[in-house]
Amino acid sequence: MSARSAVLSALLGSHPPRLPARHLVRIGALFGIAEGTVRVALSRMVAAGDLTQADGRYTLSPRLVERQARQDESRDPHTRPWDGTWEVAVVTAERRAPADRAAFRHTMVALRLAELREGTWLRPANLVREWPEIVTAQCTLIDGRPHDDPTPLLWDLDGWATEARALERALDRADGLAEGFLVSAAVLRHLLADPLLPEELLPAGWPGAELRTRYDDFDRRYREVLQRHLSD
């Protein structure tokens, strides 16, 4: 784990996302990262606009606070009963710059849509959220019902489930602060990749809810131990 990754993971998991430099240094030390290396990384992250600094404390920038909000949502998703409708977003904007295309794609993935073909994104309409302007300005939005279930074409559900079960086992085996920190970060990344499909479209034995429950239990215990370590 790099100094930057350790700092980001620590702050993304903190509420509010603000920690004193000495705590971030101690977290870096869990992975053998020297204090000077952590402080250099902090300075560079402030310069890059990833963090703000005041009174010896470092805080996530607004952009990364949005990422934390997505991470929190992945742990406790806001869903609604599904009536069979799918959301379809068809790109109709022309002459988009490469940077605009990249930002748009990042947004669509964060909204948990998948691309059926270039410029056509869709998912079941079971999530409670608003469409951001970056989508409404570039797309025509349609509600529809596919004749055939496109789920297998859009998401690797077997792959996600296999990794989720492996992470459940890793949570059970995690020993020590460093290993727990790494496993925690891996679970949160994986939950961000959960398409959050309605139960009707999920294979039997889907491990999403179980992974969330087990992670919540693990996180509660781990943060108590980590806080004692940082406060010593």
Which pLDDT tens digit goes with each residue over 18-48? 999 999 999 999 999 999 999 999 999 999 9
- Give me the mean pLDDT over the 43-62 stretch: 96
Q: Is the pLDDT of residue 187 over 90?
A: yes
Q: What is the pLDDT of residue 48?
A: 96
| Helix locations, the chain, DSSP H | 3-12, 21-29, 35-47, 62-75, 98-110, 133-136, 151-154, 157-173, 177-192, 208-231
Mean pLDDT of the chain: 96
* pLDDT band at 232; cut points 50, 70, 90: confident
Does 86-154 carry CATH code 3.30.70?
A: yes
Q: What is the pLDDT of residue 182?
A: 96
Buried b (16+ CB within 10 A) or exposed e, 136-154: eebbeeeeeeeeeebbeeb
Domain ranges in the chain are 3-68, 86-154, 157-231
Architecture of domain 3-68: Orthogonal Bundle (1.10)
Q: What is the pLDDT of residue 95?
A: 86
Q: What is the pLDDT of residue 231?
A: 87
What's the fold here for domain 157-231?
Answer: Methane Monooxygenase Hydroxylase; Chain G, domain 1 (1.20.58)
Give CA angle at 59 (55, 60), nearest 5°: 160
Beta bridge partners of 60: 51
- Give me the mean pLDDT over the 60-71 stretch: 94
- Give me the mean pLDDT over the 182-196 stretch: 97
Torsion sign across C-alpha atoms 194, 195, 197, 203: negative
